[in-house]
Structure 1
Amino acid sequence: MSQNSNNEQNNYSHDKDDDDGHEHDMVMPGFRFHPTEEELVEFYLRRKVEGKRFNVELITFLDLYRYDPWELPALAAIGEKEWFFYVPRDRKYRNGDRPNRVTTSGYWKATGADRMIRTENSRSIGLKKTLVFYSGKAPKGNPN
């Protein structure tokens, strides 16, 4: 092997060993995911319900109520202060409308008035609920 070939081989193996810790990143550096409520419902949720694929999965499917709130950041595909998940609706009773929001350490409770999500032309496309996590068992839990 010539001297030049050895140098090329050494440079190549050095480059492989010189990783920057980003080889498993889901998106490119500098990318920010800040969808509007309308975009979340009309684009992401609609496509998911219709079974259409995404080039990059930015929102993961998660049974939210199997986890406590402090576990959620590690389970999200993207996000630092906000995380997005597709969550199946679980019913407290098989034939009832009451949701089951119990986790291992507590429960999620809806608070405040539901807010309508509307398109730019004011068409109603969904509801937004605010949930607060309570540690312990209902109804004597402590808000976190």
Structure 2
Amino acid sequence: MVAIPYLIIAGRRFPLPIGFRFVPSDEEIVLLYLSKKVQSLPMLPLPESLVMPEIQIAQFDPWNLPGDDDEDMKFFYTREEPEIMQRGMRVKRVSIAGVWREREEEPILSPDARDVIAMKRTYTFERTRGQRTANRPRATWTMYEYRLVRTDTLNQHLSRIADANGVALQFTRYYACKIVRRMMSGGGGGVVEAAEPSNAESSASC
């Protein structure tokens, strides 16, 4: 059964129209959602669990991610591991049956285009040899990862959000992830074969 999204106004639930889709732009993900998440502020008017739940991406293959199986686009938060932050490591994103390979990285600019406020990394999922994934859909998966960059412009934005909510400025390292599924009409499984990850490729948050 498909969950019906709803708005909460004055404590009452109001169902959204059938066909409603959550398709925020890169700027909206960074400024309206991730900027609140790093400060542990609620996502209103919809509950976070319906819009962008927090999970550990590496615990799931893309075809087993939480949410409606009919959705071709899913959004998640994931927290950066403290030990990885301290070592300054480049995170390897390894799931049960494959690995997310980084393809490119690009900056996201502030609305006035004067400063970088986030970085957007693009990954594609590759299934490692020897892993059996029967009944998985014929599809390819791309993940876009959004990470805030603590420039003066972003710090000012975070401070305004904190002031508006009457809280002290804080910053917990989270990523926002957008995962896009593209169904394939032909055979071949739709997932690129890749070499087995080495022991150095540890599981990661996103």
Measured against the shorter chain, the TM-score band is 0.5 to 0.7
Identity %: 28
In terms of fraction of residues, the more helix-rich structure is 1
1:9 counterpart residue number: none
In the alignment, which of 63, 76, 98 is matched to residue 70 of structure 1? 63
For 1:70, give the aligned amino acid.
W
In the alignment, which of 121, 133, 148 is matched to residue 129 of structure 1? 121
Q: How does 1:98-109 map to 2 (within 5 A)?
A: 98-109=90-101
RMSD of Structure 2 on Structure 1 (CA):
2.9
Mark the runs of 5 or more structure 1 residues left unpaired by the alignment.
Answer: 1-20
TM-score (norm 2): 0.49
Q: Does structure 2 conserve the Cα–Cα contact (< 8 Å) formed by 1:89 and 1:99?
A: no
Q: How does 1:2-81 map to 2 (within 5 A)?
A: 24-27=3-6, 28=16, 29-54=18-43, 55-56=45-46, 57=48, 58-72=51-65, 75-76=66-67, 80-81=71-72
Stretches of 4+ moved more than 4 A in 1?
Answer: 90-94
In the TM superposition, residue 36 of structure 1 has moved relative to its aligned partner by: 1.0
- Greater relative contact order, per chain length (Cα 8 Å cut-off, separation 6+): 2
1:140 counterpart residue number: 195
Q: Does structure 2 conserve the Cα–Cα contact (< 8 Å) formed by 1:92 and 1:100?
A: no
TM-score (norm 1): 0.68
CA distance in 2, matches of 1:44, 1:85: 11
In the TM superposition, residue 80 of structure 1 has moved relative to its aligned partner by: 2.4
In terms of fraction of residues, the more strand-rich structure is 2
In the TM superposition, residue 26 of structure 1 has moved relative to its aligned partner by: 2.7
In the TM superposition, residue 46 of structure 1 has moved relative to its aligned partner by: 0.7
1:87 counterpart residue number: 78
Q: Does structure 2 conserve the Cα–Cα contact (< 8 Å) formed by 1:115 and 1:128?
A: yes
2:135 counterpart residue number: none
For 1:110, give the aligned amino acid.
E
In the alignment, which of 107, 115, 131 is matched to residue 106 of structure 2? 115
Q: Does structure 2 conserve the Cα–Cα contact (< 8 Å) formed by 1:116 and 1:124?
A: yes
